[in-house]
Structure 1
Amino acid sequence: MDRNGLDLPDHLLHGLEQGHALRSGGYRGRFAPSPTGEMHLGNLRTALVSWLEARRHGGTWLLRIDDLDTPRNRPGSQASILSDLMWLGLDWDGPAILQSHYRGRYHAWLSWLRRSGALFPCRCSRRMLLDHPIYPGTCRDRQQTWGWQGTRLPSWRLRVPAGDPHGSGDVILRRADGFVAYQLSTVIDELCFGITDVVRGEDLRASLPAQFSVYAALAQQPPRFLHVPLLRDQQGQKLSKREASAGLAPLRDAGLDAAAVTGQLAASLSLVEPGARLSTHELLQHLMHQSADAVDS
């Protein structure tokens, strides 16, 4: 049994204890793109802020590739992500972490949660729940049948207590297609890799209630979260990976080097003046000097 009273098997307990030990060593951040296409400038701006936060705290910055959703993965995307980050000078610590290498870990947690009674099978389709922003508990108290019905398996939902302060409803942890849900895999990763701080796009703020409910079910403390404002196009729409023109390729084709692109991204966050040219490490030094000057004044 762990320090928070969970009756965990040794291999799951070991993963949590390892994560606690890593957290105690100081700031640990991560950037976690999905290999579903070329990164757009908004992704890269979030990566830049995440990297800056880790480096200015003297911490560790991990790169995690969220490649569990294999039908959405695109050939060459992972290599493109690594290449773009290296070109900008965003260096990560240790080898890139592939979520697909940890499927056994996620399924072990699912098995434990199911055995402990924390999960229930749900056969509601997305269409059935269109008018319900929070799951209404339709399948919560029905007879539990975990196998096939016709051509469908159930999704597996976390039984979130009534009155849960996060307002998430019952969270899907395993999808009906058999894939581990993002809300579980990312929480397990943050815990086992000892992540203290998560910097990500504002569009992911909406996932916080579900993730907080998962942390609560595991009796674990979440990391700190910082959400970066989205970079939008001229029409005010957020960028997407479907817009290839929003990535690095057209800028490089136009002759811009890494210093120019870094300056452009930093200026969009009001970190430097428009037109600035500087490397990521020069930007880091600039911000650290600013912080030191603010303390001295």
Structure 2
Amino acid sequence: MRCPNHLLLQLDQGHRLRERSGYRGRFAPSPTGVLHFGNLQTALLSWLQARCCGGEWFLRIDDLDTPRNRPESLLRIQSDLLWLGLHWDGQPILQSSRLGIYNSWLSSLRRSGLVFACRCSRRDLAGESIYPGTCRAIDAGWGWRAQRLPSWRLRVPEHNPFGSGDVVVRRADGFIAYQLATVIDELSFGITDVVRGNDLQDALPAQRSLYAALGQKPPRFWHGPLLYDDDGQKLSKRESSAGLDVARLNGEDPAHVIGQLAAGLGLVPMGTRLSLDELLSDVRDASTLPLNS
């Protein structure tokens, strides 16, 4: 893919940041509600790996899906992390401030013939685990039709090694797709390592296909354990009781919560109270963290 000079400069800057820092990690929550304990566990794992490796750790706010955003959540996410002592490097990165950059990449992909318009609805694709290529060989049109815009899909080679199918890079409602924004951000900010929950392993094929289309090397991906409620369901932001509010109301302080999270990860005995600095001193080696690639 041939990129305009201003996009190449972004990639060059990202490469330089990687080489300079050695390790650059990030935590990227969406401001759609409070951070539950599963989110905080992932943040802790990501922070620990970055600090054990002597690297940098950044906070990115994935706020592109504006209908689902809650204005109060942005400050709440930051205050919860700071209450625990999970300090990040630099200023928080808001994806909503980078729309021009994502759209530039979309335009470049379209000019290169790497994306096509798709008018398949969710109902059309029901039961399909991988996009079957319905609109690849037809002219679905790029404009409005029946009061709908098409989605834009990356034209992925049929026999690509990742098994992703054609990845959506712009949604039919006009919003930039999560996969594209994430890949562009990891490259632009020189992210070397991504730590996230095991539930996001399914995102790997699509993201690897995007890195390949851009001719770029992906970061290292790590996945950690999830937290479940008493019914065996993965915690979600709908579980407001799983946030730090209840912990504070119960008189729990950061040392108690950090000990609880660390014990759940098998890093310390249950009932341990400790600060982040003490936990970091105990862990020392990132290879002891419960992460799989």
Would the TM-score normalized by the shorter structure come out above 0.5?
A: yes
Provide the residue aligned with 2:10 in structure 1: 15
What is the CA-CA distance between 1:7 and the residue it aligns to?
2.0
CA contact (8 A) 2:2 2:112 kept: no
Provide the residue aligned with 1:3 in structure 2: none
State the SS of the aligned residue for 1:225. strand
Provide the residue aligned with 2:166 in structure 1: 170
Q: Is 1:268 paired with 2:264?
A: yes
What is the CA-CA distance between 1:229 and the residue it aligns to?
1.0
Distance across 1 between alignment mates of 2:131 and 2:270:
45
Distance across 1 between alignment mates of 2:16 and 2:81:
28
CA contact (8 A) 2:116 2:136 kept: yes
Distance across 2 between alignment mates of 1:289 and 1:211:
28
Q: State the AA in 2 paired with 1:8.
A: C
Distance across 2 between alignment mates of 1:206 and 1:41:
22
Alignment of 1:281-296 (within 5 A): 281-288=277-284
Q: Is 1:235 paired with 2:231?
A: yes
Quick one: which of 209, 214, 226 aligns to 2:205? 209
Residues 256 and 159 of structure 1, relative CA distance in 2, 3 Å threshold: same
CA contact (8 A) 2:119 2:140 kept: no
What is the CA-CA distance between 1:289 and the residue it aligns to?
7.6
How much is the aligned-residue C-alpha RMSD, in angstroms? 1.2
Provide the residue aligned with 1:191 in structure 2: 187
Provide the residue aligned with 2:219 in structure 1: 223
Alignment of 1:105-124 (within 5 A): 105-124=101-120
- Alignment: residue pair count: 287
Residues 291 and 202 of structure 1, relative CA distance in 2, 3 Å threshold: closer
Q: Is 1:89 paired with 2:85?
A: yes
For residues 159-217 of structure 1, the C-alpha deviation after alignment (integer angstroms, 9 at most, x for no partner) is 00010110000000000000000000000000000000000111111000000000000
Distance across 2 between alignment mates of 1:256 and 1:8:
52
Distance across 2 between alignment mates of 1:285 and 1:291:
14
Q: State the AA in 2 paired with 1:22.
A: L
User: What is the TM-score normalised by the length of structure 1?
Assistant: 0.95
Q: State the AA in 1 paired with 2:195.
A: V
User: Once superposed, which parts of structure 1, at least 4 consecutive aligned residues long, lie more than 3 Å away?
Assistant: 289-292
Provide the residue aligned with 2:156 in structure 1: 160
Distance across 2 between alignment mates of 1:144 and 1:239:
39
Quick one: which of 43, 47, 50 aligns to 2:46? 50
Q: State the AA in 2 paired with 1:16.
A: L
Distance across 2 between alignment mates of 1:125 and 1:64:
30
Gapped runs of 5+ residues in structure 1? 1-5, 293-297
Distance across 2 between alignment mates of 1:41 and 1:270:
15
Q: State the AA in 2 paired with 1:104.
A: G
User: What is the TM-score normalised by the length of structure 2?
Assistant: 0.96
What is the CA-CA distance between 1:284 and the residue it aligns to?
0.4
What is the CA-CA distance between 1:232 and the residue it aligns to?
0.6
Gapped runs of 5+ residues in structure 2? 289-293
Q: State the AA in 1 paired with 2:277.
A: H
What is the CA-CA distance between 1:45 and the residue it aligns to?
0.4
Provide the residue aligned with 1:137 in structure 2: 133
Q: Is 1:245 paired with 2:241?
A: yes
State the SS of the aligned residue for 1:78. helix
Distance across 1 between alignment mates of 2:13 and 2:35:
32
Distance across 1 between alignment mates of 2:139 and 2:74:
42
Q: State the AA in 2 paired with 1:220.
A: Q
Distance across 2 between alignment mates of 1:212 and 1:175:
19
For residues 14-50 of structure 1, the C-alpha deviation after alignment (integer angstroms, 9 at most, x for no partner) is 0000000001121000000000001100000000000
What is the CA-CA distance between 1:291 and the residue it aligns to?
7.8
Distance across 1 between alignment mates of 2:199 and 2:286:
29
Provide the residue aligned with 1:295 in structure 2: none
Q: Is 1:127 paired with 2:123?
A: yes
Distance across 1 between alignment mates of 2:3 and 2:37:
42
Provide the residue aligned with 1:59 in structure 2: 55
Q: State the AA in 2 paired with 1:76.
A: E
State the SS of the aligned residue for 2:124. helix
